[in-house]
Amino acid sequence: MRKKWKMNLAASMCLTLAMVTALSGCGGTDSGKEGASGDKNSGEVTIKYYNWDNADQEGATDAMLREFEEKNPGIKVEHVVLVPGNSVEMMKKLDFLISSGEAVDVVNLPSAGGIVERAARGALAPLNEFYEAEGIVPEDEYYVNPKVDDKYYGMQMTAGYQFILLNKDALDEAGLPVPTYGWTWDDYRDYAKKLTKGEGVDKQYGTYFHTWELYMNGPAQTVMKDPYRYSDGTTILTDPTYKYFFQLRKDMETQDQSAKPYADVLAAKLNYRSEFFSGDAAMIMSGSFMIPDPGKTDEYPHEFTTAFAPIPLPPASALPKEYEDGKYFVGGNQLFMGSTSKHKEESYKLMRFMTTADSDARMEFSGWKKSDKDKVLERMIGKNTELYDVDSLKNTLFGPDIKYLDASDVVTVSGSDLTKIIDDGFSKFMLSNEPIEDVQKWMADEAAKVIDEKETK
């Protein structure tokens, strides 16, 4: 699932117009070495880096940008936070900038799908010539490399991993070991039953499932390359994991009573972090963005140790149609270069620095395969190491059995439409007595309509 310099959009457009007007009387630019933000005497250029940092993230981004400037004299970077802390609104504002014709240099987007969608509209500059000049193969460098017609458009900035957080004290009390790679969702259900205790307001549920699609079909979101479509472009909503996981969720609520009811989660608008750190739930599925949280006792008061386990695998009875021996999906933010950038060489340099630098300011795992992940992990954990089962965390992320999927050949751009179908189908099943077979057929039929209308292979 960032920022120092905040700019009024209207002022930005006026400034850009004024610069272009001034340059038109001076003969324009020469291949981006000087230009709208360049100094013809000093040879210095300024490029813009756009993202959606919140207040906590802004300082780290600024520190990395200053490191880049020190290593690249003659290039200045202006940090533009389009919408603090909101990637969805940020992308809307970004698209307005692009449509207005503003020169866009480097942008951080939350997913590969957002890259492909805009590349198909001609808004992005391909990176092939820059990769070739540097003599690198993108697949050797990054986990996910968004492409359109064999042209590369995205450079992976961060890597997002998924895992299970567990209350280690609750595990010890129940006599349960920390799970390791190879446990299944059936095992997860068994753990949840054994970790459930108490009644009423004092009840500790074995697990908590939030409202995201991640919790509606864990296997589709964690061990498949694309959570919406198979490699042939057809919908995965026909996959056996849907029937299995929907039924698992309902049985855990109604039969085992080991998970808080979905209706209650919706009605109370619960916070998943609070559910775990308050002790209301002993296990929760989440991602690497939560690694710093056990150490934040001011925000999430608790005394127990947090252990970590790999995402459970589907049982043999419910393997996905396209299953690669328990390899996990890895997501993350992507950088792109705007087709309107007047400083493409400088922009490419910034992209490579931001994705590969082992900066002390980096607080997220890099999408660069050769990065030093242990250093980042140490910074994320911080000083309160006693609140972490560090060995289980390292084994969960980078243990010998942990392997990650390559990028999907299919990148879905109608994700918001398909997500709504999944949400609606899950609600139909969980909040009514409608049979799972009928719900799954409805979901698959609706998804096929969307795919036929909006997607290409």
Give the per-residue pLDDT at 410: 81
User: What is the per-residue pLDDT for 5?
Assistant: 34
Query: Can you spell out the DSSP letters for 3-22?
Result: -SB---HHHHHHHHHHHHHH
With H, G, I as helix, E, B as strand and everything else as coil, classify residue 419: helix
Percent of residues, the chain, with pLDDT higher than 70: 90
pLDDT of residue 363: 87
- Tens of pLDDT along 395-424? 999 999 999 988 787 877 788 899 999 999
Q: Give the CA-trace dihedral at 366, 372, 378, 381, to 10 degrees.
A: 30
Instruction: For residue 284, give the 3-state DSSP assignment.
Output: strand
Is 21 a residue whose pLDDT tops 80? no
DSSP 223-254: SSS-SSB-TTS-BSTTSHHHHHHHHHHHHHHH
Three-state DSSP class for residue 68: helix
DSSP 35: S
pLDDT at 20 over 90: no
Three-state secondary-structure class, residue 287: strand
CB atoms within 10 A of CB 294: 26
pLDDT at position 385 over 60: yes
Structure tokens at 217: 């079909």
pLDDT recorded at residue 42: 57
Residue 188 predicted with pLDDT over 70 = yes
The burial class, CB within 10 Å (0-12 / 13-18 / 19+), for 99 is: exposed
Average pLDDT, the chain: 89
CB 351 within 8 A of CB 72: no
Distance CA 349, CA 338 (A): 14
Residue 430 has pLDDT above 70, yes or no: yes
Q: What is the pLDDT of residues 115-150, one digit of tens each?
A: 988 998 899 999 999 999 999 999 999 998 998 889
Assess whether pLDDT exceeds 50 at residue 25. Answer: no
Query: What does the pLDDT read at residue 285?
Result: 98
Kind of pairing between the strands at 306-309 and 151-152: unpaired
Do 230 and 322 touch, CB atoms closer than 8 A? Answer: yes
Task: Spell out the alpha helix ranges (H) of 218-343.
Answer: 218-222, 240-254, 262-268, 272-277
Tokens 């200053």 correspond to: 66
- Rounded CA-CA distance 347/317 in Å is 49
Q: What is the pLDDT of residue 3?
A: 34
pLDDT at 374: 92
Q: If pLDDT is split at 50, 70 and 90, which confidence band does 10 have?
A: very low
CA distances from residue 324 to 230, 287, 314, 331, 403 in whole angstroms, order as listed: 13, 21, 12, 17, 10
Amino acid at the residue 412: T
pLDDT in tens, 291-325: 999 999 999 999 999 999 999 999 999 999 999 99
Closest CA to 218 of 248, 194, 196, 192: 248
d(CA 180, CA 206): 18
Instruction: Report pLDDT for 111.
Output: 87
Distance, in Å, from the CA atom of 450 to the CA atom of 446, rounded to the nearest integer, reads 7
- Among residues of the chain, what percentage have pLDDT more than 90? 81
Question: Per-residue pLDDT tens for 65-112?
Answer: 999 999 999 999 999 999 999 998 999 999 999 999 999 999 999 988
Mean pLDDT on 40-53? 85
Strand order in the sheet with 283-287: 283-287, 162-167, 306-309
Closest to 32 (Cα-Cα) out of 419, 344, 309, 370: 344
Chain segment 262-287, per-residue pLDDT in tens = 999 999 999 999 999 999 999 999 99
pTM over 0.85: no
Q: In this model, does residue 43 exceed pLDDT 80? A: no
